[in-house]
Amino acid sequence: MIAKISQLKTILINPLLRAMLSANQLRLLTSFKTALAVVIALGIAMKLNWERPYWTGITVFITFLPYVGAAFEKSVLRVLGTITAGFIAYLLTGWFEQDQLMMTISLFVILGIFGYGGTGKVYPYFFILGGITLCIILGTTIVYPDALWYLVLFRTLEVCLGVVVALTVNNLIFPQKASNAFRNKASTTLESCDTLLGHAIAKYQTNTPLPDNVEAQTKLIAADFSALMNLFHSALRDSSRILHHQHAMEELLREMRQIYVAIVTVLRAASSDFPKELQHELQAELDGYVSAIQSDLSQIIEDLRQDRPARRLTKLHDARETLRDKVNALRAEGISYQYAVDDAINFYAYLGDLTALHDSMIRLVQADRALYRDASARELPPRIRPKPNGWKPDALRLRHAIKVGIACIIALYAYLWLQWPSGVTSFLTCSIVMQVSAVASNQKSMLRLGGCLLGGIFGAFTLTFIEPNFATYYTYCVPLFFIFAFFSWINNGPVKYAYAGFQAQLAFLLMTSISAEQSIDLAAGVDRFLGILLGVFIAALVHRIIWPVLPEKEFARELRQFFNRARCFMLEQDDRIASEQSDATGRAQEKDLARIEVIPAKSFDWLSQIGFRDNESKDHATLMQIYLHVQAISFALRGMSQANARNLNRETLDLLRPQLKAMDHALADVLQRCELSFQTNAPIAGSDYFKTARIEMEKQLTKLLRVDRATRKLSNEELGAFLSLVRRYREAGEYINACEQEIRKLNFEVLKRSAFF
């Protein structure tokens, strides 16, 4: 505890740390501010003698987010959701006070709408909060409808008070802006990419062994892009500059991903077993070129970290020209033809990947300068705007909405028929723990129960040993502050148990801050726990009987979708490289990639929810490998798109086009078999189509490079682009083929669970 306080003191005093907090420091600071805001809000509510001051404390706890912009948006949505739910409850009670059937039907429809909206992308918290608040208000007043207006009024007032206190504390005490965190995270991610590039260069040019954890580093950097996307959405809420130049930020993120993909492909070229003799002919020039790339990348990182417009890249031009002249001299003398074909392919692909990296760095600088309204920044390419297909309901979300309505109605009538004091809690619990899948619902149920127990224990201890020793709230708030800070620390921790922190704080408040008149009474905690148990039971029953959503089936569905979209991408590949690379072509390709790249993260979410028995560890490992191959295929397709956008010589490309087209169809064939495997829950027999197409491509490539020497007339850039494309086909083939081999090892029985497993 002393160490935590010392760490907090360091954060508060040091302005540099305030600007660039680590995840743990941000968690600690947020916990401190949340606890402070809760005790202030509770004190004001009790001073005003409001009936339910704990609503104020709960509001603070919910709306207090690390970044002020996101906190403001959530606060507004909470107020609007509360008012909307109160208005709906008032209408339902007024219209159907004597008509139980119409009340039930209307409530079912409204809860279904809230459930559907809560699983969407357009302000889901508004719908979640609206559904929860409606359950609280109706559950509390359905037996005593005369108390409705009074309840809605004071809940709205207490929610507004909590919002005002939370926002005030959050903005006055070291406010954290997501826009600053984004640039810091972006610079850290690019710094990791720079380290990875250093490993690749050392391996290729000096044969220095790669670190053992290089693959782990690659995966960690890939995971950073999800965090960057989340920070980007939060930054839109606290930075007018980013909001008004959203397109520039989107391009900056896109080029960061392109830089990462280019560096990974450089790493693949460097770590291959191909000979590396050709590069020794121009060691000095190559060293100068890669040093210039690293220097300019370091400059970009520094500018991001200092929150200033990116400076122009000036070091690469001369180094690039020097390298180009030396390569042209070697080619004119025919020296490059003295080395093995694989050596030449690997070298020019390596050179082409470095050029792609350089080009992405230039575009990133342009996007960053446009973000700062730099007059000299080039015009950015038009934003990708997917063509709207018209609205249609999502089947999975619609079924979930219906199940939410059914579970809540069952809990409501159980409460009315049994007249159980904790029935309101069970009604509310159903609206909260009903998640899309049964596994996610179980996890939230366990966290809700566990948090309730934790808060109840703290509440009982406080009522018995702490509260009797304090005569006024001014002294009582000191131990409360530390308890709330602890709960907030849990709530701001890893997602897998964060919800338990919120539930603990809620249970604690219900037991200790029920009203301004304090008394030792454990009934509130006991009733709440029993109500949660009933709600959890009802939700679990509905989940398993009505349209059960199993992570095994959803994981297989996501993979089928991925393989289908990747197959379509390969079948369209020949059309892309056959046409001149216009901006429209590149943007259409970007739309296809965007539809593909969102799936690996979704499939991993479902995979993490699958429960495996002790004897199924091998199957778990196989599914994890399949997921990793899917992610690798996604990045390979991104790399192929980079190669498509390069300056490809059409005449030379036409000499290899039949073989590349055969590879397109062969890879699409393998992807289709992978898709069918997860559709039929059984591996599909393979063929020699891919093997034959790959052999024919290598034969024709060798003939072009060594027999016909058809590439002699190409410029260095054209040759690098051509061989980079070939290498992309090799890499995509390796990943797709390896994925199919893993699928053949899989015991598909692990994906055939019953709903009651």
* pLDDT tens digits for range 149-202: 777 888 888 889 999 999 999 999 988 888 888 888 899 999 999 999 898 888
Residue range(s) of every CATH 1.20.58.220 domain in the chain: 551-751
519: helix, strand or coil: coil
DSSP 338: G
pLDDT at site 486: 95
Dist. CA 507–CA 54, nearest whole Å: 10
Handedness of CA 456, 459, 464, 465 (dihedral sign): positive
User: Quick one: tokens of 405?
Assistant: 């309505």
Q: Give pLDDT, residue 484.
A: 93
Q: Where are the alpha helices (DSSP H) in 20-172?
A: 23-47, 54-63, 68-95, 100-118, 124-141, 148-172
Q: Packing angle between helix 495-512 and helix 54-63, nearest 10 degrees?
A: 160
| Whole-angstrom distance, CA of residue 270 vs CA of residue 259 | 16
Q: Which residues contact 161 (CB under 8 A, 6 or more apart)?
A: 41, 44, 45, 56, 59
Alpha-carbon distance 411 to 539, whole Å?
9
Per-residue confidence (pLDDT) for residue 143, from 0 to 100:
67
> Domain 551-751, CATH 1.20.58.220 — does that match?
yes
pLDDT at 667: 92
Closest to 679 measured CA to CA, from 573, 567, 581: 567
Output the six-digit token pair for 400: 């979930």
Amino acid 378: pLDDT: 60
Q: Is 515 helix (H, G, I), strand (E, B) or coil?
A: coil
* pLDDT at residue 675 in the model: 92
Question: Which residues, 6 or more positions from 225, have their beta carbon under 8 angstroms from its beta carbon?
Answer: 189, 253, 256, 257, 260
SS3 176: strand
The DSSP result for 189-250, as a single string, is HHHHHHHHHHHHHHHHHH-PPPPTTHHHHHHHHHHHHHHHHHHHHHHHHH-HHHHHTHHHHH
Measured CA to CA, the distance from residue 88 to residue 545 in angstroms comes to 30
Q: Are 343 and 276 in contact (CB under 8 A)?
A: yes
User: For the chain, which ranges sit under pLDDT 70?
Assistant: 1-20, 97-98, 143, 273-276, 335-338, 374-391, 420-423, 513-525, 576-588, 754-757
Q: Angle at the Cα of 648 (from 645 to 652), degrees rounded to 5?
A: 155
∠ CA 135-141-146, rounded to 5°: 145
Which of these, 395, 367, 420, 377, lies nearest to 535 by C-alpha position?
420
Of residues 716, 731, 752, the one with CA closest to residue 286? 716
pLDDT at 642: 74
Contacts of 606 (CB under 8 A, 6+ apart): 437, 551, 552, 554, 555, 558
Give the pLDDT score at 10.
Answer: 44
| Residues near 143 by beta carbon (within 8 Å), at least 6 away in sequence | 416
Third-level CATH fold of 180-238+246-371: Methane Monooxygenase Hydroxylase; Chain G, domain 1 (1.20.58)
Rounded Cα distance between 59 and 321, Å, is: 62
Q: What is the pLDDT of residue 561?
A: 93
Supply 273's token pair. Answer: 């077993």
